[in-house]
Copies of this chain bind each other. A is one copy, B any other.
Amino acid sequence: MVKPDDKEEIILKAAMEVFVDKGQYGAKMQEIADKAGINKALLHYYYRSKEKLYVHIFKFIFKKIMDEVVELLHSDLPFEEFLKTFISKYIDVLIKNHRFPMFIMRELSQGGKIVSNALKEAIPSELSAHSPGIEIIEEAMNRGEIVKMDPRQIILTVIGSSLFYFMGEPIIRVLLLNEESFDRERFLEERKEAIFNIIYYGLAPRGEKQ
């Protein structure tokens, strides 16, 4: 839609990098201008203020991630297959956008009303009313495929397990994966399997054994 050498596009890309890297207050208009190969005045010409530019970036990133995740919820596979592919594809999304989740949550944790308003305005209508994930889980429970439990607990466990590596990568690499020859790509492939196995079998109906 927008030409890649469009000035507005170039600015957006530069601003995104800087805001994701440094946050709302750590980011400097000068650095964005430098990265875009223009000067500060032109930034203000396109986006009247730093705050407007920031809100624009925040909404853009939030929407991008949400759209990709909501897409993963449109599935009519049986629950086992659904869970397996959801986790795998969700982690693929995170690999491609590995700094976005931390950006979103970080900004929400330290931003004021500006950010939380931007969040509300950017929520897809599909999600504002009901969470599509909950229905899928409830159906699997009704079919007896998994144990009965608050579906929200399952969602938090799936998302939390998948997200944590990316949110905490700096500290995890120091505390847990401090090897010179750490193979990130391979570890994340194993991560997909581990999360699925733990959660799927953790949800399996338990017979007389326990």
A-side residues, CB < 8 A to B, are 21-26, 99, 102-106, 108-110, 116, 119-120, 123, 127, 131, 147, 149-150, 152-157, 159-165, 167-168, 170-172, 174-177, 190-191, 194-195, 197-204, 206, 210
Contact = CB atoms under 8 A, between A and B. Distances in A.
Given A160-B165, A201-B210, 4 more contacts: A99-B109, A109-B170, A153-B191, A164-B164
Quick one: which of A102, A167, A190 has the most chain B CB within 10 A? A167
A172 B203 CA distance: 22
A204 B206 CA distance: 11
Contact of A164 (B22, B103, B159, B195): B159
Nearest to A168: B105
A177 B127 CA distance: 12
A105 B164 CA distance: 11
A116 B164 contact: no
Nearest to A172: B156
Nearest to A155: B176
The residue among A25, A157, A170 with the most chain B CB atoms within 10 A of its own CB is A157
A161 B155 contact: no
